[in-house]
Structure 1
């Protein structure tokens, strides 16, 4: 299913699980493609600007930032070459990438992050398992079982079963999710999209509720193609963040195939101010 705008921009709806392959949206003559690791790095840059007043304890803060920066690192190699979906006649995106290879790369990424920081690995494991809640697919259920065993092992290793540590972990997990969602908001739609035409997941605010929001969702809204407002504001001050994307022409894909068209397209940098 697609969501269409009057200017021929189309958005693809999530059908299960995020965090895989390219972040993509369609315009009339091209596809805007953002590698997942670029999107992950953008998430990390957002987290770096978090308001210190909203940080309960700082002893694991560097590991939280590391988890947010690196949560999609497993896709670095895979996103070098986009995959074409013969069934839909479109590139595969993070929305419809096949489940079995997706889960393989989920595990690869968590393993890599855990080797650098067990706490960051735990956060990434929680993040990926959250995508699969309610799934009846045998592979998804087995992945979740294995990851919950990893989570239990890491929580024992890190002595996180005390209530105050579990509460802190929950807050850090919300941060991973929020920074991921806000980064996706910036990548998955045309800058400056009117509120009424935004990608449906985020139109009514982000799902994460923090103590400092008094029970309210954080609402994002494009002020123009360069500025996004956040209410309530979670950062320390207005912050400029950037992301590199490729605008891959449909004519080039038709003529040369998606691999060459993507490879030969130059990077373009988009910069946004969060305020």
Structure 2
């Protein structure tokens, strides 16, 4: 069976992981009134696509976000960035910086489409940041860098949970606290975390997705026939000691 987790649900998990983050030894979210909703909604551009997932013509399986064609990815990312305008120009800045980084480190970085995307948002990001800083003059480069790091970290943390069943300990070497974070799976979907980064004594999170047969699919309509079993995955994070 395949478990199809919509990208917007993965992003919501990123936001849940960011909730209650920080406890003195680990820095809290910077400007949480903007950074938290930016994390939570950074993949909202996927909502329409996830309702009718494309099929990979080679594998005959639902197309992974990792293999999304360049132009389609840019279209989806653009929707996410434009949608963040309802949050703040700083949210647009953060999400655009996040996607530009993904493109710059991808196989399409040097393609004409990749270059157009990056150049377009480099200019817009300058405008959005200037807009934000004109209203928040005390926001400095260090805070901006931390905000970007926090979005990227929680995005990866969520993906790590969603992409596979985790049975071995994993250490996140690059964290917003610049402090390695080790997650050790335990029975019954419990995860021990060392050091403990949240300001609660435990954290319970979950995602939903469609459970579909692992078979060849002719097209999206063929897949939609099978997308009727909505399931849930959940994790309980607890301190390591």
Both proteins in one fold, TM over 0.5: yes
What's the counterpart of residue 207 of structure 1? 174
Q: Distance in 1 between matches of 2:205 and 2:74?
A: 30
1:184 aligned residue (143, 149, 159): 159
Q: Which runs of 5+ in 2 are unaligned?
A: none
Number of aligned positions between the proteins: 231
CA RMSD of aligned residues (A): 2.5
What's the counterpart of residue 168 of structure 1? 143
What's the counterpart of residue 31 of structure 1? 2
Shift of 1:225: 4.4
Does structure 2 conserve the Cα–Cα contact (< 8 Å) formed by 1:178 and 1:206?
A: no
Q: Deviations over 1:5-24 (max 9, x none)?
A: xxxxxxxxxxxxxxxxxxxx
TM-score (norm 2): 0.86
Shift of 1:259: 2.3
Q: Are 1:108 and 2:79 counterparts?
A: yes
Q: Deviations over 1:161-193 (max 9, x none)?
A: 979611111111111111111111111112x42
TM-score (norm 1): 0.76
Q: Distance in 2 between matches of 1:252 and 1:225?
A: 32
Q: Distance in 1 between matches of 2:164 and 2:67?
A: 17
Q: Secondary structure of the residue that 1:107 maps to in structure 2?
A: helix
What's the counterpart of residue 227 of structure 1? 190
What's the counterpart of residue 142 of structure 1? 116
Does structure 1 conserve the Cα–Cα contact (< 8 Å) formed by 2:191 and 2:237?
A: yes
Q: Which runs of 5+ in 1 are unaligned?
A: 1-29, 196-202
Q: Distance in 1 between matches of 2:207 and 2:32?
A: 23
Q: Deviations over 1:226-247 (max 9, x none)?
A: 1122333321132001111222
Aligned CA distance change for structure 1 residues 242 and 129 (closer, same or farther; 3 Å): same
Q: Which of structures 1 and 2 has the larger relative contact order (alpha carbons within 8 angstroms, sep 6+)?
A: 2
Does structure 2 conserve the Cα–Cα contact (< 8 Å) formed by 1:253 and 1:261?
A: no
Does structure 1 conserve the Cα–Cα contact (< 8 Å) formed by 2:208 and 2:230?
A: yes
